[in-house]
Amino acid sequence: MRLLIWIFRIVLFVLLFGFAIKNDELVNVQFFFGEMRQFPLVFVMLAFFAGGALIGASITGLSALIRRREIARLRKQLRHFEERAADRALVVQDGARAPEAH
């Protein structure tokens, strides 16, 4: 299995390396205030891909954190309701036994 993973990684690296070689032309990137610089196309594409991945990972992490807190709140609420139900069951059982004792 590890061999297949390494083969996949090598093939992916070769494909991405070939893509980078084919897209080495310079492109103009215009910043604010009229500033313009030239960068290789592959770097611009990589920067936007990395930025998008970072934003996506941040949103996913935030969503997971919110869900984890909600699950903890619901578990606490469930424990509270289970304790109340157990207390009521004890009261009902004690109430049923009390008349027999008299």
The pLDDT tens digits for 16-59 are: 889 888 888 999 999 888 899 999 998 899 899 999 999 999 99
Q: How many residues does the chain have?
A: 102
Q: Is the pLDDT of residue 71 over 90?
A: yes
Identify which has the larger pLDDT, 55 or 101.
Answer: 55
∠ CA(19), CA(8), CA(60), 5° rounding? Answer: 80
Tell me the two tokens of residue 4. 């297949």
pLDDT of residue 60: 97
Residue 32 DSSP one-character state = G
Tell me the two tokens of residue 12. 């992916």
